[in-house]
Chain A
Amino acid sequence: GIQVEQSPPDLILQEGANSTLRCNFSDSVNNLQWFHQNPWGQLINLFYIPSGTKQNGRLSATTVATERYSLLYISSSQTTDSGVYFCAVELNSGYALNFGKGTSLLVTP
């Protein structure tokens, strides 16, 4: 099956710092999404981004489909950004998402 690798696995930032999370995938994909899982387990959809660049406030994401990677940028991090960030890909339309192992982010005051 398709491999989804995320890096780094863990990240500690001081409030206000910027960070870049990376997602590499092993095959062409129909869809790529970034999620933030909060402490209660809920998955918040951050970006639907099979290709190109999107921005939403302090967050932005870029997917280079031809090179099979995606990046999630967090700027001016806040303590509320803490949690686990997952990258997930859909191999073909209608297939389930395959998740990476996630990046666990802790933002300290």
Chain B
Amino acid sequence: GAVVSQHPSWVICKSGTSVKIECRSLDFQATTMFWYRQFPKQSLMLMATSNEGSKATYEQGVEKDKFLINHASLTLSTLTVTSAHPEDSSFYICSASIEGAKEGYTFGSGTRLTVV
């Protein structure tokens, strides 16, 4: 089945700095990847849809200038949290699927971001 690799697994950064999270599809091409955010004891909330070669689509309430998404190739999407603040501390996770395959979506292992 599809495998999605995400890193780093965890990161601690200072307020005001930027953090980049990578999500790679292994052994398959992903024209679309999805980025989710999960706060403690809550469900996963879709942040944005990442499309290869075009601009990402952001969900309502997600600041596109703060959460920069780049999907420059068919196997790599990146999420950059710019000028991070403590309230951005969360669990970020990406997902993708093999188009046409009846196996659903696979998720990366997630990135736990702590902003201090």
Contacts and interface: CB of A to CB of B under 8 A. Distances in A.
Interface in B90-116: 91, 93, 95, 99, 102-107, 109-110, 112
**Main SS of the interface on chain B?**
strand
B106 to A, nearest CB: 6
Chain A interface size, under 10 / 10 to 19 / 20 to 34 / 35 or more: 20 to 34
Interface in A70-99: 86, 88, 90, 94, 96-99
Interface stretch (B21-29, B43-51, B67-75, B80-88): B43-51
A32 B104 CA distance: 8
A43 interface: yes
A97 B110 contact: no
Contact of B91 (A41, A88, A94, A99): A41
7 contacts: A31-B104, A41-B93, A41-B110, A41-B112, A42-B110, A43-B93, A48-B103
Interface of B: 32, 34, 38, 42-46, 49, 91, 93, 95, 99, 102-107, 109-110, 112
Interface of A: 31, 33, 35, 40-43, 45, 48, 86, 88, 90, 94, 96-102
